[in-house]
A and B are shown apart, each in its own frame.
Chain A
């Protein structure tokens, strides 16, 4: 089979990208970017990414269109470029133009009630959601062009690469804060969900293989868990498809509903990340919800991924449980090789994430104590110390502080004219967020915080790359969500999935609101 299509499509994509680059560098795009309010934010991206990928698409487009192709690896792998660039140009157009235009429209309606947010923010209408919706519309209304179908299969590779690189944003020092909480919270919900699905499956007379694979998909981490658990419970193809359909349908709903609820309830980044990482069934949709909640930063994504990755780490335990459960249910002497399944199916990309996390913790990309590239260093210039006037303003507010830990950090700041430790910095940020001091005092504290928090250039680049990889993967994911795949989720698996999914979402929301503090 020859995969490269003799069509000018990729060549035209290259021309469009180069056109965007030329219009931007020549200044002709300036009125558009100014209207969208993205001149500062995206001009750098447009002038580099559109040029580089435009040249690649132009050259390979000519080759695809005019060259002779024969079966082989060159055809197979270069044949993916057209589909990859198809996803990429949609991602670019959505990120640079469509999403900002929707934001302009949203702002024109003014803030919604007392929320302090615009309609597009409340609905989570950012480039990630719009990109996925665009993908869904393309596949269901127009269908993915034939020349692009081969390359669209690269989207999951993009997501996995993004997850691995996400490890660079973590450091061991920071994981200590979230680690215990995520393990306990996720552990309870993973084991609980699996148990409830197995119980409901028996109650509703669903086959053991269907119930088993559904419990792994809903309990652990969606599609990869479904695939990993299917051999253990001897699931049939149609049951795997049903499970994936159920998870995707529920996940798509969650991806849109979670950010809206999160914004309406005024949840913080850590709280929402913990909730999404616990309550949403599929890894990609956890990322989608987190980015939809916070499109201009990835604090939420980072926390959600910690919870999500913790969930993935339960996979071997669940696989073991399901194997034992299945053997017991079937009352058969046929052996199920549990150890082999664990070794063969444990997702390597999760190990890659751990590897990147380990590298990041050594301090090769940024000081080892960094948090997504931001790190504490109070060896600051004389002019950045608090002035006498600023100290006077702060001292006038001392009586308002009730918490001892915050008071001590505040006192150390006043004595030394700068924040003295990373823990003190957290206390000061908490003090600012609590809003108990005057606006002027808060502004001084915010400046003191900025002077001791620095950002590593390498991690900033990683963060941009991760955002693009996820955007690419999720737009491609949208192109794989067909109406027929959604319909496959109907029937019993959807009922069970819906009950357990809803239960998990509501209970995890309550637990997160009760036990997760908004501290980073």
Chain B
């Protein structure tokens, strides 16, 4: 996991500091997409 040293924020696999935060961001993006599809399609 030496790749982690390349970034001082996030991890080698994610720009977010934790899995949980990444999950929440994914949820927010999904809700925005769902609302856009609901209103504009």
Contact = CB atoms under 8 A, between A and B. Distances in A.
Interface of A: 1, 76-77, 80, 149-151, 153-154, 156-157, 160-161, 163-165, 168, 224, 227, 237, 241, 344-345, 347-349, 351-352, 355-356, 359, 364-365, 457-458, 461-462, 465, 480
Given A153-B12, A458-B38, A461-B41, A348 B33 contact: no
Interface string B23-41: 1111101100110011001
Given A352-B30, A356-B30, A76 B23 contact: no
A179 B9 CA distance: 40
Contacts of B29: 157, 161
Contact of A161 (B11, B30, B41): B30
Interface of B: 1, 6-16, 19-20, 22-27, 29-30, 33-34, 37-38, 41
B37 A352 contact: no
A26 B25 CA distance: 38
Nearest to A460: B41
A156 B38 contact: no
Contacts of B15: 76-77, 80, 150-151, 153-154, 157
Contact of B14 (A157, A345, A461): A157
A235 B3 CA distance: 20
Sorted nearest first, the 5 A-B pairs with minimum C-beta distance are: A348-B23, A160-B26, A164-B30, A352-B27, A161-B26
Contact of B22 (A156, A168, A345, A457): A156
B11 to A, nearest CB: 8
Contacts of A356: 30, 34
A365 B27 contact: no
B33 A165 contact: yes
A309 B32 CA distance: 22
25 contacts: A1-B8, A150-B15, A151-B15, A153-B14, A157-B16, A157-B22, A157-B29, A160-B26, A161-B33, A163-B26, A165-B34, A224-B19, A347-B23, A348-B26, A348-B27, A349-B27, A352-B23, A352-B26, A352-B30, A365-B38, A458-B41, A461-B37, A461-B41, A462-B34, A462-B37
A432 B34 CA distance: 36
A318 to B, nearest CB: 17
A154 B41 CA distance: 27
A241 B14 CA distance: 15
A435 B4 CA distance: 56
Given A168-B34, A365-B37, A465-B33, A348 B13 contact: no
B19 A227 contact: yes
A241 B2 CA distance: 11
A160 B11 CA distance: 16
Given A154-B15, A157-B14, A165-B33, 14 more contacts: A77-B15, A80-B15, A149-B6, A153-B10, A153-B13, A156-B13, A157-B15, A164-B30, A168-B34, A224-B19, A237-B1, A352-B26, A365-B34, A480-B12
Nearest to B21: A348
Contacts of B33: 161, 165, 465
B26 to A, nearest CB: 4
Given A347-B23, A348-B27, A349-B23, A156 B34 contact: no
Contacts of A227: 19
A164 B27 CA distance: 7
A458 B30 contact: no
Contacts of A352: 23, 26-27, 30
A105 B7 CA distance: 42
Nearest to A480: B13
Nearest to A149: B6
A361 to B, nearest CB: 14
Identify the interface centre among B6, B16, B23, B30: most chain A CB within 10 Å of its CB: B30
Contacts of A465: 33, 37
Contacts of B11: 153
Contacts of B16: 157
Nearest to A482: B3
A164 B30 CA distance: 7
